[in-house]
Structure 1
Amino acid sequence: MSSDLDEPVFEARLWRDNGWTAQVIKNEDDEGWAVAMFKAGESEPALVGPWTMGRDKKNPKPLDVNAFNTLVKTASEVLRRHEQQLHAQLNKALYVARDGAWTKVTLEIVPAEDDPYAWLSAFDAAGESLARVKVSAGFKLSQSAAESWVDNGFERPAGRD
């Protein structure tokens, strides 16, 4: 069952296709125009940028297929970078060398609204899980903390949650 929001729209100031909507809007800050790119299902735009004036220097240039495709590509890249940044903020990995073997120690923060927490995990060189303990979301994974955890037989770090 398809809704009206799934149907393609190709108008001068509104294009909707393939899960994206481009809407040309009046720029409230000055005399010009802006374009906002929305991903389907999102209430906030993924991208807002200046839009070109038309030949009459009063109205915006109409959207077209090339402009729309470029805007989709740019907005998709903005979202991808945001996801990569969030992933980097929530995940950290370090390596500890002991007895000629490498152990990968990871911290994965779970940003639950009510009670955020993190998983401290260890993996051998083949990627097999060695240990996993729940710690506070504020746990600081440093090289010394990782080495201490490995040296202590993967016991839950005391006083760090």
Structure 2
Amino acid sequence: MSTDNTALDEPVHEARLWRDNGWTAQVIKNEDDEGWAVAMFKAGVSEPALVGPWTMGRDKKNPKPLDVAAFNTLVKTASEVIRRHEQQLHAQLNKTLHVAHDGVWTKVTLEIVPAEDEPYGWLRAHDASGAALAQVKVPASFRFNQTTAQAWVDAGFERPAGRD
């Protein structure tokens, strides 16, 4: 995709390049075979959100031209790919468990903060009404499981041993 930033907000509706509403579709030669591919870029992002095969035209040599219907379908598909990626990342960085202590349930969460220099996590406890009970900072490598969550609650929310 071109790195020329001039008029990136301007709509473009060409046979192999379609830009509108913060998205760009670019039909490219598939280097692995004789076919064509389409790459979808979200504005401001250098990596494509989606790359997939593109239909050949009637002459079986050139790609089918982009049109509004195809572009809208590609935007919807690329948006869904981004949404799923964000959900997966959120699930990797945020974990929740429930543990019982003296007959009372406590919700224990771990939120990893993926800081570039030193990632870390927040270990938090909440009661059944959602009120905060405790919070401690832990390394991003903290092993969060039923056993460690239970041990933290049982110890009265003391900072886990050997943790930052």
Instruction: Flag whether TM exceeds 0.5 (same fold).
Output: yes
SS of the aligned residue for 1:5 comes to: coil
Would you identify which runs of 4 or more consecutive aligned residues in structure 1 move more than 6 Å?
none
Please report how far the alpha carbon of residue 96 of structure 1 lies from its aligned counterpart in structure 2 after TM superposition.
0.9
What TM-score results when the alignment is normalised by the length of structure 1? Answer: 0.95
Map 1:118-129 → 2, pairs under 5 A: 118-129=121-132
Map 1:100-139 → 2, pairs under 5 A: 100-139=103-142
- Paired with 1:151 and 1:98, the residues of 2 have a C-alpha distance of 7
Please report how far the alpha carbon of residue 101 of structure 1 lies from its aligned counterpart in structure 2 after TM superposition.
2.3
What is the count of residue pairs matched by the alignment?
A: 159
Unaligned 5+ residue runs, structure 2?
A: 1-5
What TM-score results when the alignment is normalised by the length of structure 2? Answer: 0.94
SS of the aligned residue for 1:74 comes to: helix
Unaligned 5+ residue runs, structure 1?
A: none
Tell me what 1:93 maps to.
Answer: 96
- RMSD between aligned alpha carbons? 1.0
**Does 1:29 pair with 2:29?**
no
Q: Deviations over 1:10-29 (max 9, x none)?
A: 11101111110000011111
* Letter of the structure 2 residue corresponding to residue 154 of structure 1: F
Q: Deviations over 1:62-101 (max 9, x none)?
A: 0011110110011011111111111111111000122332
**Does 1:140 pair with 2:143?**
yes
Tell me what 1:81 maps to.
Answer: 84
* Letter of the structure 1 residue corresponding to residue 82 of structure 2: L
